[in-house]
Amino acid sequence: MKAPAPFTFNHATHRVVYGAGCLAQLPSMASYERRTRAFVVIDEFFIGGELQARLDDLLRPLSPRFHGVPRHEPDTDTVEAARAALVDSDADIAIAVGGGSAMDTAKAARMAASNPGPIDDIVGPAGVFMHPHPSLFVCVPTTAGTGSEVSSSAIVAKSGTDYKMVLNSPEMSARIALLDPELSVTAPAGVTAASGYDAVTHAVEAFTSKLAGPMTDPFARSALSLLATALPVACREPENLDARAACLVGSMQAGIAFNSAHLGLAHAIAGALGALNHVPHGLANALALPWTMAYNQPALGAKGDEIAHLLGASTAAEGLSRLRCEVGLDQSLDDWVNDDTGRDNVAAGAMKSGQVRVNPRTPDAAAVRAIVEAMRTPTGGVQPELALEYSPRREAS
């Protein structure tokens, strides 16, 4: 018998509450913690709509102040506006309602309010010490995707540049994640597919990461199992509450897994595509993942078989290719990047990511460039063919 390899598991969210209609628990959670004033960071898409009206009603005893944020990834201007509004509100409970943008904005705004200096001073993917903010922080995701409600990181672009900053601290994590599937039935089909495929990518990359271990594997495995079945249903039948619920739980579990196991080459490529070409994050992962997993195949071992089994396919890459086709994301990179220089820049940008180092197979620059070239061809839902020589000895060194 072999002992588990050394690992570190990070999880800072105290409670995950899940159930249809559980949004109604917000006032009792606030009163239990003796909170009196609420600051609500919300996707501006919801401002003036039914959800804001419901929150306004539910939170009336807490005199809620709403702050809308755009749906694109937050930048330093977005965070600064949220920080100023949070400080001005003097709130003792902060609630983020929406997708990854609303949650990441709220996370970063709280830290910007409780730490000195510009936000650049608390940037660091490996975790930089941050002073806690006194507000009780609750995240309420309305789309299944980022897992930000349970992760301790946030991504913020530096306004006016292509530079994306990663902030990471347990102090940034939500204390409570509230998962109410009734809130996700209004997500448009395109958003459901792209954000859901992001969650699939989190599950697969956390499961196969070099940092995966006995505390993350069960979450990643369950996440992929739920998402593989439920995501196509949620895309076809947006009001199917069972499918929405499974996607929401799967996305949260994938978030717990990648918070410790980190992510891999598909996210490294997606990060470069987002920064350089403004490709939406979920779609960027869909463009990359079947190809990166075809590349990873020789290094996956039994986990490759397990992913294939969960997807009902003969290989992980084939299953992920079919899934992206099923949810309408089988696109060509040419739709976003259409010259050699652009593709060179994406490959070079991906190589700078720390995610490359925890990918199950270690790529060199030429391999990443070959994968980016392959991404020009839609896979048609079948096994992506990518022949790149594999050396087990190089992986071991």
b/e map 345-367, b = 16+ CB within 10 Å: bbbebbbebebbebbbbbbeeeb
CB of 111 to Fe ion, least distance (A): 20
Which residue number, 288 or 368, has a Cβ lying nearer to Fe ion?
Answer: 288
Which residue number, 43 or 51, has a Cβ lying nearer to Fe ion?
Answer: 43
Which residue number, 42 or 199, has a Cβ lying nearer to Fe ion?
Answer: 199
Strand residue runs (E) in the chain: 15-18, 38-43, 65-69, 93-98, 136-141, 153-157, 164-168, 176-179
CA distances for 92 relative to 39, 223, 250, 360, angstroms? 8, 33, 30, 43
Does position 205 bind Fe ion by CB under 5 A? no
Site size for Fe ion (CB under 5 A): 1
Count CB-CB contacts under 10 A for residue 280: 20
CB of 35 to Fe ion, least distance (A): 31
- Contact map string, positions 149 to 188, toward Fe ion, x by CB under 5 A: ----------------------------------------
How far apart CA 303 and CA 309 sit, in angstroms, is 10
CB of 40 to Fe ion, least distance (A): 24
Nearest-CB residue for Fe ion = 198
CB of 283 to Fe ion, least distance (A): 11
Task: Tell me which residue of 205, 105, 175, 187 sits closest to 144, measured CA to CA.
Answer: 187
Which residue number, 113 or 283, has a Cβ lying nearer to Fe ion?
Answer: 283
How far apart CA 11 and CA 216 sit, in angstroms, is 11
Task: Tell me which residue of 72, 127, 42 sits closest to 274, measured CA to CA.
Answer: 72
CB of 153 to Fe ion, least distance (A): 10
Which backbone phi and psi does 334 adopt, to 5 degrees?
-60, -25
Which residue number, 113 or 157, has a Cβ lying nearer to Fe ion?
Answer: 157
CB neighbour list of residue 188: distance below 8 Å, 6 or more residues apart: none
Which residue number, 171 or 198, has a Cβ lying nearer to Fe ion?
Answer: 198
C-alpha angle 140-142-145 in degrees, rounded to nearest 5: 100
C-alpha angle 199-201-205 in degrees, rounded to nearest 5: 125
- Per CB under 5 A, contacts with Fe ion among 181-200 are 198
Count CB-CB contacts under 10 A for residue 135: 23
**Rounded to the nearest 10 degrees, what angle do helices 281-296 and 265-277 cross at?**
140
How far apart CA 178 and CA 22 sit, in angstroms, is 7
CB of 354 to Fe ion, least distance (A): 14
CB of 204 to Fe ion, least distance (A): 11
Q: Which two tokens stand for residue 366?
A: 């030429």
Which residue number, 52 or 353, has a Cβ lying nearer to Fe ion?
Answer: 353
Which residue number, 194 or 308, has a Cβ lying nearer to Fe ion?
Answer: 194
CB of 202 to Fe ion, least distance (A): 6
Which residue number, 94 or 104, has a Cβ lying nearer to Fe ion?
Answer: 104
CB of 136 to Fe ion, least distance (A): 26
Q: Which residues bind Fe ion (CB under 5 A)?
A: 198
